[in-house]
Amino acid sequence: MLELGQQPPAPAREGKRDQQVNIRLTSEEKMRLEEASRREGFRSLSDFLRASGLNRAR
């Protein structure tokens, strides 16, 4: 993740996360996202999706 120039997600203590977004994926989509998350060193799929989405939204 850091090697790719991406910033890690902010720790929860810096701001309480109280909103939720739900999406539906195919098994293939979920597997691809999980693989990318692990490959880039994220702790969880949620962290990966949050960082990717916020990076794209800049």
Letter string b/e over residues 10-22, b meaning 16 or more CB atoms within 10 A of that residue's CB: eeeeeeeeeeeee
| Residue 21 one-letter amino acid | V
Domain of residue 34, residue span? 27-57
pLDDT band at 5 (very low <50, low <70, confident <90, very high): confident
- Tally of structural domains, the chain: 1
Within a domain: residue 31? yes
Residue 39 lies in a domain: yes
Place of tokens 């800049």: 58
Confidence of residue 30 (pLDDT cuts 50, 70, 90): very high
Task: Label residue 6 by pLDDT band (50, 70, 90).
Answer: confident
